[in-house]
Amino acid sequence: MKNLILYTSFALLLSATTAEAQTQLPAAGKPKDFVLPASKKIELPNGLKLTMVPYGNIPKVTVRVVVKTGLVHEAKGETWLARYMGKLMEEGSLQNDLQSLSKKVAAMGGRLSINVGMESISIGGSVLSEYAPEFIRLIAEVLTTPAFPAAAGERLKNDLKRELTVRKGQPDAQAQQEFFSILFKDHPYASQFPTEEGLNALTVEKARDFYNKQFGAQRTSIYVAGNFDAAAVNTAVSQSLGNWAKGPAISYPPVKANKSSELVIIDRPNAPQSTLFLGTPVPDVSSPEFTQMEITNSLLGGSFGSRITRNIREDKGYTYSPYSAVMERQSNAVWYEKADVTSESTGASLFEISKEIRGLQAAPPPAEELKGIQNYEAGSFVLTNSSADGIIEQLNYMDMFGLKETYLTNRIKNLYSVTPAQVQNMARKYLNYEDMTLVIVGDKKQLESQMNTINDTRKKKKAF
Amino acid sequence: MKFSLRHGLRKAFYALCLVPLTTMANDPVPKAGKGMTIPVEYYKLANGLKVVLSQDKHAPIVTVAVYYNIGFRIEPKNRTGFAHLFEHMMFQGSKNFPKGEFDKLTERNGGFNNGSTRFDFTNYFEVMPSHMLEPILWAEADRMKALDLNQAALTNQQGVVKNEVKVNVLNRPYGGFPWLDMPQYANENWYNAHNFYGDLKDLDSANLEDVKSFFSTYYSPNNAALVIVGDFEIANAKAWIDKYFSAIPASQLPAKPDLTEPVQQKEKRFSKEDPLISKPAIAIAYKMPERNTPQYYAMGMISELLVEGKDSKLFQHLVQEKGYTSNINGGINYLGNMFNYNGPMLWMMDCIYDGTVNADSIIAKVDQSLAELEKEVTQESINLAMVKMRSSLYDNLGGFYGIGLADLLACFALFDDNPSRVNQLEAAFQQVTPELVRSTIRDYLRPTNRTILISQPAKKETK
């Protein structure tokens, strides 16, 4: 294992100030080099991958198993089957039912939870260091011999129904599902809500079947980070997972996000705010332009000092929580801006958002502004790699998107290589406001008088 | 970028994914089963500023936190939400460092900042690459000294804060339930029982005079603690702190109002309507024993056994056995943890359930869980609670880029004048005996000491 030193190039951004000591911002010290934590990777004969990262002085260890399956593998009409399966797996293994499992894990100072995501399912938790091997064995039981107790079937289904009801009432969830449905139609990436009938039709058998079809060693990675005895961990993994069946190969159904300039308004009577969801497909992780897109996103809406946030929050006070992000999926990426804005300022907010996007298309950002954003991204990278969980997250991200070791070693250099002209080019090439999908969840009554303003922002404007 | 939103009341939820922080590969590793000892250096400046330094060189990161001993409990009576509104004003710039510069200094040099308002403090913190320590200390001192308070900034932040209340409470199903609602029902004393996020009307009527007088009253070095955690040199830090903070004058602090709550003698039940929900939710809150008493530590252990994890009594009974709900929230101080407050507090649980279930069935299960715990508690249960407690304590002491540790050090400095308490917590919990657990359940977790609040879906009008 070797430690890799990254030469960070934080350049301090100073403002002009007066010359008196107490009234003048002092200079920063010399940036320290950042040492990337070393990790050890082992692949078992059945294809299961183990990554160990010794890190830190807290007597705890984080174990996370990631299986490359999830909502993405649900068939039509079986929405949330993967989540149902996850809940059933949480009920325990053939050796330990939920009560016995929970007791054992609690005695290690931990909790075992299963998170079902779009493209991956993660199983794990953190426990006191000395229990790492035992914890791994318990996780392995749940992973390879889940009980799928029939007795829990109805109760867990009812939990999902309750959750569906709760989610449907959230403006965020309403906006998000509408937005992604326009982009991904009936592909699981659309994040559609299930129907009550659909949930009723789920069975324990179907869940077990999903598990049998989608789980196996080839699709599985296990990450162990923090303080632990590496030899004991290695032994626990080999013994408890070494004989697990290979299972299916990694496979994600191909899909390309659909570009649409649709505007949808979902009525939320008397809502004090409109929830805006605005976005469009952009180049994905595999594209050479992706880093440029990440920087463009941070500068435009993805950081507190970004242009849209400074404008609609820190100048106009229309909103508290605006942000933009790039949602990443296999072979897909979608840029979106999300904000909950005061109902009567919906049109005004959209006007300002469109102005900021077009402004970036019209002129490259000043070098100093870009440098600040690059520092921000480089800093985020350092922070991510300064904690056990962050390191796991980083390594899993690289694994999910097939990124090589050079992604880590070149990350900081690549961030700083983006130029103002490239940022402007990203905005021009991919972020045309009038071509974006726009979903508004808000009070139609209050939106009526603002429709002219809203529609006017959607007209093609020659920005460049 | 991820967002973690914990009940708002913070400047922004721009936060990098906050995850437990650990240390360098070449640091000495603790032996299995051993606890942690945190280095703590504590002193005060002549103007009363409390300073806590805790070095940890595992990563080239430094965390600076300034805690002011003013929370939303004691904001002006006709200005609900004011302490939090003021927190936003601390980011609006000074004569030396105009609006936007503070955020630029942190974010655009590779770090992040945030602030939050809680019952008994308002905090401001920055997580930065190590070499940024001096500029950050200067910037914190600069805003402690003098803000450039102006109407434009105030109007802007009134807009932002009103939107914060809308997004977290008014337009959100179960918004404010139970973290904002319950104190208003359970407590009698206005200081503990008002809407601390603020009525929109009160937020609107805040004026520049209020802001100026609040700042000059509470934002002074003798009402604050400054904490530095992470990778820095002690001597440098001390020199910079002296250089930038020592000349800031102390202020005359007003006497702290009486925050005590009368002892509750009767169970209280309330229900409220929420037009945005279609499933009811219930919260049950009990008044806590006084902070730092033996019973207080016992409550920490009881909470571990009652509501933490899937092996807990309430999860086993309400989720696993009955299927009334899929998730139980619970614990001491919904806006933090059992260490970072200084006054009356509630232990609470809550869950969303189906309309077909009678709330009394849930309450009966809670009573059954308490009765079982009282009857069955042994040294073995205490040991289990201890393991759970230690594990979460280590996460807190070592996690979140040092923010968790800075929080404890600042609160123990402000409230107890003793930040070294971080190293005494484990021993305090070790003192809890089965008998103490039993008497604490009898004395505090009695029906007559609780408030029950049910949030009901609004009745649909039939047209």
A135 touches chain B (CB under 8 A): no
- Residue A36 tokens read as 């990337």
Across residues A289-305, what is the average pLDDT? 97
Which of A128, A156, A304 has its CB closest to that of B103? A304
By Cβ distance, the residue of A56, A98, A383 closest to B23 is A56
Interface of A with B in 168-227 (CB under 8 A): 169-171, 225-227
B428 CB neighbour count, 10 Å cutoff: 14
Mutation site for A-interface testing, chosen from B108, B144, B304, B352 by largest number of A Cβ within 10 Å: B108
Q: Is the pLDDT of residue A357 over 90?
A: yes
CA distances from B351 to A94, A288, B277, B329, B363 (A): 30, 47, 13, 6, 11
Contact: B155, A273; criterion CB under 8 Å: no
Residues of A in contact with B166 (CB under 8 A): 272-273, 320, 340, 342
Interface with B, mutate which of A6, A57, A227, A343 (most B CBs under 10 A)? A57
CB-CB contact of B218 with B117 (8 Å): no
Distances (CA, A) of A456 to A307, A348, A354, A446, B260: 21, 11, 10, 17, 57
Q: Quick count: other Cβ atoms within 10 Å of Cβ A354?
A: 21
CB contact under 8 A, B278 and A165: yes
Whether this model's pTM surpasses 0.85: yes
DSSP string, A332-380: EEEEEEEEEEEGGGHHHHHHHHHHHHHHHHHSPPPHHHHHHHHHHHHHH
Please indicate whether, in this complex, the C-beta atoms of A320 and B24 are within 8 angstroms of each other: no
pLDDT higher than 60, residue B462:
no
State which residue of chain A sits closest to B230, comparing Cα positions: A386
Binned at pLDDT 50, 70 and 90, residue A8 comes out as low
Q: What's the whole-number mean pLDDT along residues B11-22? A: 31
CA B355 to chain A, closest CA, distance in angstroms equals 10
Task: Please report which helix (H) or strand (E) contains residue B192, including its range.
Answer: helix B190-193
Quote the minimal CA–CA distance from A20 to chain B in Å: 10
pLDDT exceeds 80 at position A217: yes
What are the distances in angstroms from CA B335 to CA A37, A183, A257, B77, B399?
34, 38, 40, 21, 18
In chain B, the percentage of residues whose pLDDT exceeds 90 is 90
Q: From the centroid of its chain, how far is CA B284? A: 19
CB contact under 8 A, B352 and A162: yes
Q: Is A411 on the interface with B (CB under 8 A)?
A: no
How much is the average pLDDT of A276-304? Answer: 97
Cβ-Cβ pairs closer than 8 A, A with B, add up to: 322
Q: Contacts of residue A315 in chain B, CB cutoff 8 Å?
A: 156
Average pLDDT in chain B: 91
CB < 8 Å to A314, chain B: 99-100, 156, 160
**Residue in B with minimal Cα distance to A172:** B172
Torsion angle of the four alpha carbons A172, A173, A175, A181, in this order, in degrees rounded to the nearest 10:
150
Q: Are strands A49-54 and A60-67 parallel, antiparallel or unpaired?
A: unpaired
Of the pLDDT bands very low, low, confident and very high (cuts 50, 70, 90), residue B213 is very high
Mean pLDDT of A28-53: 92
- The answer to whether residues B322 and B363 touch, using CB atoms and an 8 Å cutoff, is no
Q: Report the DSSP beta bridge partners of residue A264.
A: A439
Note whether B20 contacts A110, CB cutoff 8 Å.
no
Tens of pLDDT, residues B288-318? 999 999 999 999 999 999 999 999 999 999 9
**A133 in reach of chain B (CB within 8 A):** no
Q: Give CA torsion, residues A158, A162, A165, A171, to 10 deg.
A: -140
Would you place residue A32 in the very low, low, confident or very high pLDDT band (cuts 50, 70, 90)?
confident
Contacts of A30 in chain B (CB under 8 A): 131
Nearest by CB: A31 against B129, B159, B172:
B129
What average pLDDT does this structure show over A268-284? Answer: 98
State pLDDT tens for residues A63-104.
Answer: 999 999 999 999 999 999 999 999 999 999 999 999 999 999
Interface touch B25/A171, C-beta < 8 Å: no
Q: How many CB atoms lie within 10 A of CB B208?
A: 14
Contact B60 A313 (CB under 8 A): no
DSSP labels, B239-307: HHHHHHHTTSPP--PPPPP----PPP-S-EEEEEEETT-SS-EEEEEEEPPPTTSHHHHHHHHHHHHHH
Q: How far is CA A38 from each of CA A290, A386, A411, B59, B93, rounded to the nearest angstrom?
A: 26, 12, 16, 13, 41
Rg (CA), chain A: 24
Closest alpha carbon to A282 in A336, A352, A333, A206: A333
* Closest CA of chain A from B114, distance in Å: 11
Determine whether the interchain pair B20/A389 forms a contact, defined as Cβ–Cβ distance below 8 Å.
yes
How far CA B44 is from CA of A285, B52, B221, B423, B434, in Å, comes to 51, 9, 10, 20, 40
Range in A183-187, B81-85, B396-400 with the lowest mean pLDDT: B396-400
Which H helix or E strand runs over B381? helix B379-398
Report how far residue A305's alpha carbon sits from residue A301's, in angstroms, rounded to the nearest whole number.
Answer: 8
Confidence of residue A36 (pLDDT cuts 50, 70, 90): confident
Res A35: pLDDT: 83
Q: What is the pLDDT of residues B409-458, one digit of tens each?
A: 999 999 999 999 999 999 999 999 999 999 999 999 999 999 999 999 99
CB contacts of B23 in chain A (<8 Å) are 55-58
Query: What residues contact residue A449 under an 8 Å CB cut-off, 6+ apart?
Result: none
Instruction: Judge contact between B435 and B378, C-beta under 8 A.
Output: no
Q: How far is A181 from chain B (nearest CA, A)?
A: 22
Average pLDDT score over chain A = 94
Residue A3 clears pLDDT 60, i.e. is over it: no
Block residue for tokens 């010794």: A54
Q: Which of A237-255 are b and which e, b meaning 16 or more Cβ less than 10 Å from the residue's Cβ? A: beebbeebeebbeeebeeb
* pLDDT at position B1 over 90: no
Q: Mind telling me how many Å the CA of B321 is from chain A's nearest CA?
A: 9
Among the partner-chain residues B22, B28, B110, the one whose CB lies closest to the CB of A376 is B110
CA distance A6 to B58: 16
Q: Is A109 in contact with B388 (Cβ distance < 8 A)?
A: yes
Name residue, tokens 């030396």. Answer: B96
Q: Decide if A33 touches B, using CB distance below 8 A.
A: yes
Determine contact, residues A354/A456, Cβ cutoff 8 Å: no
List the structure tokens of A113.
Answer: 């939870």
Residue-level pLDDT at B26: 30
CA A152 to chain centre: 30
With cut-offs at 50, 70 and 90, classify the pLDDT of residue B35: confident
Q: Is A32 in contact with B22 (Cβ distance < 8 A)?
A: no
Q: Provide, as residue numbers in chain A, all residues whose Cβ is less than 8 Å from the Cβ of B1.
A: 302-303, 323, 325, 380
Q: Is A158 on the interface with B (CB under 8 A)?
A: yes
Q: Which two tokens stand for residue B24?
A: 């360098």
> CB of A337 within 8 A of CB of A296?
no
Chain B within 8 Å of A162 (Cβ-Cβ)? yes
Residues 6+ positions from A423 with CB-CB distance below 8 Å: A292, A295, A296, A299, A360, A364, A365, A370
Q: Kindly state whether A302 is in contact with chain B, defined as any CB-CB distance less than 8 angstroms.
A: yes
CA distance A266 to chain B (A): 14
CA distance B296 to B150: 44
Does B229 score more than 80 pLDDT?
Answer: yes
pLDDT category of residue A18 using cuts at 50, 70 and 90 = very low
Pick the residue from chain B with its C-alpha nearest to A370. Answer: B108
Range A94-102, long-range pairs (CB < 8 A, 24+ positions): A94/A141, A94/A145, A94/A146, A94/A147, A95/A141, A95/A145, A96/A138, A96/A141, A97/A147, A97/A149, A98/B310, A98/B320, A99/B311, A99/B316, A99/B320, A101/A138, A101/A142, A102/B309, A102/B310, A102/B311, A102/B315
CB contact under 8 A, A382 and B110: yes
A433 touches chain B (CB under 8 A): no
On the question of a cis peptide bond just before residue A37, with omega within 30 degrees of 0, the verdict is no
- pLDDT band at residue B459 using 50, 70 and 90 as cut-offs: confident
SS3 at position A51: strand
**Mean predicted confidence (pLDDT) in A251-276:** 96
Which chain B residues are closer than 8 Å to A386 by Cβ?
Answer: 21, 58-59, 61, 401
Kindly tell me if the per-residue pLDDT of A463 is higher than 70.
no
To test the contact with chain A by mutation, choose from B6, B22, B27, B155 the residue with the greatest count of A C-beta atoms within 10 A, namely B22
Phi-psi region of B174 (alpha: psi -120 to 50; beta: other; left: phi over 0): left
Confidence band of B4 (pLDDT split at 50, 70, 90): very low
pLDDT for the residue B177: 97
Residues of A in contact with B162 (CB under 8 A): 342
Phi-psi region of A185 (alpha: psi -120 to 50; beta: other; left: phi over 0): left
As a whole number of angstroms, the distance between CA B91 and CA A310 comes to: 13
Which one of A58, A162, A376 has the shortest CB-CB distance to B354? A162
| Degrees, nearest 5: CA angle A381-A386-A387 | 120
Nearest to A111 among B96, B110, B309 (CB): B309
Share of chain A above pLDDT 90, in %: 88
Q: Which amino acid is at A242?
A: G
B107, closest residue in chain A (CA to CA): A376
> Given pLDDT bands bounded at 50, 70 and 90, which one contains residue B34?
low
The answer to whether residue A389 neighbours chain B at the CB level (below 8 Å) is yes
User: Is residue B18 pLDDT above 50, yes or no?
Assistant: no
Q: What percent of chain B has pLDDT over 70?
A: 92
For residue B3, the model assigns a pLDDT of 28
Q: What is the DSSP letter of B462?
A: P
For A353, counting Cβ atoms within 10 Å of its Cβ (0-12 exposed, 13-18 middle, 19+ buried), the class is: buried
Closest chain A residue by Cα to residue B386: A109
- Classify residue A147 by burial, with Cβ atoms within 10 Å: 0-12, 13-18, 19+: buried
- Select from A268, A318, A380 the Cβ nearest to the Cβ of B159: A318
Q: Please report where in the chains the tokens 């082992």 appear, as a residue.
A: A42
Amino acid (1-letter code) at residue A175: A
